[in-house]
Amino acid sequence: MHVHVYHENGEAKFWLEPVIKLAQNFGLSTRELKEVEKLVNSHQQEITNAWHKHFPN
């Protein structure tokens, strides 16, 4: 399971399982990536619930 994060400076993909981990980065700075990772961590359950709703199987 993963999440894509889009930003005006680029985008990133984070794996959500088994732990939150950066998979790919296209243009985001280290500072931006750290902020995004914090947001993904703080909203992990919401993201996971949305994933399961969108992909029910």
**Alpha helices, H only, 1-57:** 30-42, 44-54
Q: What percent of the chain has pLDDT over 90?
A: 96
Residue 44's pLDDT is 96
- Please say whether the beta carbons of 13 and 3 come within 8 A: yes
The rounded distance, in Å, linking the Cα atoms of 11 and 24 is: 8
pTM for the whole structure: 0.86
The rounded distance, in Å, linking the Cα atoms of 43 and 18 is: 16
Residue 57's pLDDT is 79
Residue 24's pLDDT is 98
- Residue 35: is its pLDDT beyond 90? yes
User: Average pLDDT of 20-43?
Assistant: 96
